[in-house]
Amino acid sequence: MLKCENLERLDDAARGEDSTITRISKVPAPKITAEMIRDMKARGEKIPALTAYDFPMARLLDEVGIPLMLIGDSLGMVVLGYPDTTRVTMADMEHHVRAAARAKPRSLVVADLPYGGYETIESAVTNAKRLVTAGAEAVKAEGGREILPQVQAIISSGIPFLGHLGMLPQHVLEEGGYHVKGKSEPEHQALLADADALVKAGAFAIVLELVTPRVAKELTQRLPVPTIGIGAGPDCDGQILVTPDLLGMLPWYSLKHVKPKLNVAEQMRSVVKEWKESVEA
């Protein structure tokens, strides 16, 4: 159903040509919606999701058939060079959402509401609408019951919402680092209650970041909507990664939850060095 292209048989007779020949022609597959992502769980289909921050990345991910691309506020670290996501602004998010959306992907384009962008119901709805105007088709914000009025208002305004529980990178300064969640019983219970509340509010899926694999599995079995894990073990309904981490573009950081599948940084260095030397020679 969510395959990259639809093949449709067209009877040539219908086009006034030889009726004995049936051609197979490509027609564009339907745009992926938040409902389609939600329904993948019921069909037992896994959800591979990745981040994109610009036109080429969005286009490449879409050509491979990634069904959900996130314009994540991780762009603060992996594109803008900030130490964490807390300095990313709405203007930054809009700029990168516009760039990715210009690829006109079939994938669902989800954009992060940045730090400080959903403190009140009014700011949450205004900023979610700004992201949609920039090209997003759904928004994500970090938190559970503490942001429930904002989540309800975003969904009531007609914008699909992706939840984000577990380690919340926008809280990294208060928390003093990136810590795994769900190890203690109060954390475990809080995750269950937050996830239930987001589902009740109408979230179409929930990202689980750095949640213990045991609790991520329990949430995946408990919730009617997909869980999309990052550093949360293998038992989620989908997995999401920050694309530059997967490609080995950031050799200065090492992460436990992702082993780069390429070494783009080293390949770039060596190609650039070779070209530089050829010019100098």
Options 94, 137, 142, 209, the catalytic residue:
209
Task: Judge contact between 65 and 3, C-beta under 8 A.
Answer: yes
Instruction: Please say if 209 is a catalytic residue.
Output: yes
Rounded to a whole number of angstroms, the minimum distance from the CB of residue 162 to ligand KIV is: 9
Rounded to a whole number of angstroms, the minimum distance from the CB of residue 23 to ligand KIV is: 43
* Number of residues lying near ligand KIV (CB under 6 A): 11
3-state secondary structure of 52: coil
Q: Which of residues 38-67 bind ligand KIV (CB under 6 A)?
A: 51
Strand partners, 49: 68, 240
Rounded to a whole number of angstroms, the minimum distance from the CB of residue 10 to ligand KIV is: 41
Q: Which of residues 140-199 bind ligand KIV (CB under 6 A)?
A: none
Quote the tokens at residue 117.
Answer: 């962008």
232 near ligand KIV, rule: CB under 6 A: no
Rounded to a whole number of angstroms, the minimum distance from the CB of residue 60 to ligand KIV is: 17
Candidate residues 230, 232, 236, 247; the one interacting with ligand KIV per rule CB under 6 A: 230
Q: Which amino acid is at 69?
A: M
Burial bucket for residue 19 (CB in 10 Å: 0-12, 13-18, 19+) = exposed
73 vs 194 by CB, closer to ligand KIV: 73
Rounded to a whole number of angstroms, the minimum distance from the CB of residue 29 to ligand KIV is: 25
243 near ligand KIV, rule: CB under 6 A: no
Quote the tokens at residue 92.
Answer: 């930054």
Strand partners, 27: 6
Q: How far apart are CA 267 and CA 254, in angstroms?
A: 18
Rounded to a whole number of angstroms, the minimum distance from the CB of residue 218 to ligand KIV is: 20
CB neighbour list of residue 72: distance below 8 Å, 6 or more residues apart: 51, 53, 112, 140, 242
62 vs 229 by CB, closer to ligand KIV: 229
Candidate residues 70, 113, 124, 159; the one interacting with ligand KIV per rule CB under 6 A: 70
Quote the tokens at residue 222.
Answer: 């408990």
247 near ligand KIV, rule: CB under 6 A: no
Candidate residues 180, 242, 248, 260; the one interacting with ligand KIV per rule CB under 6 A: 242
Q: In this structure, are strands 108-112 and 138-140 parallel, antiparallel, or unpaired?
A: parallel
Could you count the other beta carbons within 10 Å of the beta carbon of residue 80?
16
Candidate residues 153, 240, 247, 260; the one interacting with ligand KIV per rule CB under 6 A: 240
* Helical pair 148-156 and 185-201, crossing angle rounded to 10 deg: 20
CA atoms within 13 A on the CB side of 39: 7
In this chain, which stretch among 72-80, 90-98, 246-254, 255-263 interacts with ligand KIV, using CB under 6 A?
72-80
Q: Name the nearest CA neighbour of 223 among 144, 140, 142.
A: 144
Q: Which of residues 73-92 bind ligand KIV (CB under 6 A)?
A: 73-74
Q: Which residues are catalytic?
A: 209
Which residues sit at the interface with ligand KIV, rule CB under 6 A?
A: 51, 70, 72-74, 112, 207, 209, 230, 240, 242
